[in-house]
Each structure stands twice: as structure tokens, then as C-alpha cells.
Amino acid sequence: MKIGLILNMANNQWLIAKALRRLGVDAELVLSAKDFGMAFPHWEEADIPGMDPYEIDVAELSRYYSLPDWVRLWNPRDLHVRPENVIDLLYMAKEYDLLQLSAPSVIYLQFMGKKFIVHEAGWIRNFAFRDGAAEKLARRGYDKAQCVVMTNPDCYALLEKIKYRKAVFIPFVVETERYRPMQVDRDSVLTFLHPTRHLWNGKGNDRLLRAFSKFIHQGYDARLVMMNWGTSEDINQSRRLVQELQIDRNVEWLDPVSKPRLIQLYNRSDAVFDQFMVGSYGTTAIEAMACARPVVMYLEKYWNTKCYGEVAPVLNAQTADEIFGAMVALTDERYRQKVGLDARNYVIKHHGPEVIAKKYMQLYREVLE
């Protein structure tokens, strides 16, 4: 069987394809040349210095990493859904026995008459209840798919609101040999890393800032490292709040970095703070956990337990006061080490490449029988 993994939101399909090929599956990845920079394998694999993920193109990235021959490039004229844009993608998709569609390729490829599954990595949050043409086509695609692969436990509540034939839960892949604890140069000051996008109504970044302000003003010495990543409005709001709370001397801002540099940042930090509203994790939390770093975030217990059989060993916090309490607990170095070790073992168990590849292989056999 030949599997076509179409498009590559947040590099999830790239990591799946790599894991599948290691086990002998004939899997190929189709990329869009017009995608967001962080959706290119180069961003995952190469040490790229000072490059803005919003402004880069494939030619620029190719200076740092050469794609393998099983990765193909779709080069639409622009991002609009037009026949002249999609025709090359249709021809590519014809070559595969089974399509695994990442956002938004299900809009284009659901009418081919081929069996397909949907890799649902959070896109459903954007289209489940909207009435635009693209949103309606997305819902139709989920309904016509042989299976919807869910990766975010919190999104099950949205899936239950739309039509679908079958759904399975298969988590994100983390390459635990790359994302691992390392010996790096570190400062003596307690360092908290917040690499998450600034999106106040989706991530709760302001709650973290208010908790950190309380932590500093109660006499603790620490540094909070954050990224210039997110909507410009929310980044500006975060910067203003830092000033208003008078914690600017303790906050460091960095531009987005490629994954090899992010692995270094994980290892230079004492703890990682993710999101406090969604209720499940994407890749940030589990990458940090694989590096044996304690993670503070909000996990909704029902769906996470249903999907994993357990709740990840994070410091579960949703309010500013709960985040502050986690910060105080993290001042204990032995506690940080224990939580970090438990976190890495959890990621190896649930997100390791071979674990995930075998789940997909079983699904492919069921769909193609």
C-alpha cells in the first residue's frame, strides 16, 4: 500500500511519515509551498538562525536542509481555493492507495473517489460551527472520511457536534531521541519558558503574567522567557501588561526559533508553561516533557483520561492563583527533577515514533480491507 500524507500542519504529518517509513511503510508527504514556515520539515530538522517563520519560502529554507525524495512539493499560485491552484495537487493525490489529509486538504480532495482519512490536529475548532463555504466543505469532508484521526482530547466535544463515520485517537509523535534531556550551559536564576503563541482568549497568556508578577513581587527571583509569536494584538497586550505589572526586568522576549534551538531552550529552562484554557496539549508541552522538563498547563481530566487512560504528569493549573502555586512548588529542585522524569516516561509510553506508527499501520489495514 502507498500512503499519501497531504499537507503538514505543525509538522505533524512529517513526523508521522518518518516514523512509518522506519517500519517499512511506503509513505510520502506532500507539502504546500505557500504554507506557514513552521509547517516545513526544515523548521523541525535544521538549526535555522534568525529567520521569521511568517516571511520565509522553501528556497530560503533549502539552504539549511534538503528534503528527502519521498517529500513532494505542491506549488499553488496563491492560497485561494481555485481550480488552477488545486489541479496539481489532484494529480499527485491520484498516485496513492490511501490519503491522509491534514488541514485544509480535505476541502479539495474529498471528491476524488479515493479512500481517505482525516488527520484532525485542531482545525475543527475553526470550522465546526461556522457557515462559510470552506467550513461547510470541511464538515462534509469529515463526514465522508473513512475515519477521523483525533489528536486533541478536547476536540472530541466538537466532533460530536458534526457528522462523521468513525473516529480513533492517535496522539502526536515526539522523537524522544531528539527531544531529550541534555547537558547545556544554564544560568543560576530560576528560568521559566513560555514558548506558546500569544492568544489571550485561547491560551490564557495574561493569567501566566499575573501569576508571575505575584511570584516576583512576593520576593522570588526568576526569569520568564517568552516568544514574539501570536497575533500582533495579543503580543502587544502581553507587552503592555508586563510593563503595567512592573516585571519587565524579569521578562525576556525571543523571536521564534527552529526546533533544534527550541530543544536547547527547553533544556536551559527549569520549567515550561504552556496554555491555561484549551484543556489538552499540542506539541509544545510534550516536547518539553520529553526533555524531562516539568510542564505547567491546564488539562481537562475527563477527555484526557478517556484518550490516554491517565492524565499526563503535569502541574495542572488554570487560574492565575493556581499557576502561582505551581511556581512556588517548582522552586524545589528535587521536585522539578521528579516531575520531569515522570513526564519523559509518559511521553515515551504514549508518543514515541514506533508506538504511533504501529497505530497508523493498524488503521490503514482496517480502512483498506
Counting the structural domains of the chain, the total is 2
pLDDT score for 34: 87
251-254, strands of its sheet edge to edge: 251-254, 222-227, 190-194, 271-273, 295-297, 315-316
Is 265 found in the same domain as 320? yes
CA–CA separation, 321 vs 67, rounded Å?
Answer: 46
SS3 for 263?
A: helix
Residue 211 near residue 318, CB atoms below 8 Å: no
Q: What is the pTM of this model?
A: 0.95
| Residues 160 and 298 placed together within one structural domain of the fold | no
What is the per-residue pLDDT for 154? 93
Question: Residue 184: inside a domain, yes or no?
Answer: no
Residue 183 lies in a domain: no
Asked if the structure places residue 63 within a domain, the reply is: yes
Per-residue pLDDT of the chain (369 residues; tens, 9 = 90+): 899 999 998 899 999 999 999 999 999 999 999 888 889 999 999 999 888 888 888 888 999 999 999 999 998 877 666 777 889 999 999 999 999 999 999 999 999 999 999 999 999 999 999 889 999 999 999 999 999 999 999 999 999 999 999 999 999 999 999 999 999 988 899 999 999 999 999 999 999 999 999 999 999 999 999 999 999 999 999 999 999 999 999 999 999 999 999 999 999 999 999 999 999 999 999 999 999 999 999 999 999 999 999 999 999 999 999 999 999 999 999 999 999 999 999 999 999 999 999 999 999 999 998
Tell me if 178 is assigned to some domain: no
**Is 144 found in the same domain as 43?**
yes
Whether 249 and 147 share a structural domain:
no
**Those residues with Cβ within 8 angstroms of residue 31's Cβ, 6 or more apart along the chain or in another chain:** 7, 8, 39, 40, 41, 58, 67, 71, 72, 73, 74
Q: Which amino acid is at 321?
A: D
Q: Does one domain contain both 198 and 74?
A: no
pLDDT of residue 161: 94
Same structural domain for residues 129 and 216? no
**Do 194 and 156 share a structural domain?**
no
Domain CATH number, residue 250 = 3.40.50.2000
My answer on whether 337 and 359 are in the same domain is no
Please tell me the distance from the alpha carbon of residue 37 to that of residue 51, in angstroms, as a whole number: 9
52 and 143 both lie in a single domain = yes
DSSP-derived secondary structure for 149-201: EE--GGGHHHHTTS--S-EEE------TTTSS-------SSEEEEE-S-B-HH
Question: Which range marks the domain in which residue 278 is found?
Answer: 190-351
* Residue 96 to residue 19: CA distance in whole angstroms: 18
| Cα–Cα distance, 194 to 306 (Å, whole number) | 28
Beta-ladder partners of 253:
226
Task: Give the pLDDT of residue 79.
Answer: 65
Structural domain includes residue 166:
yes
Structural domain includes residue 181: no
Q: How many CA atoms lie within 13 A of 132 on its CB side?
A: 6
Among 208, 341, 338, residue whose Cα is nearest residue 275? 208
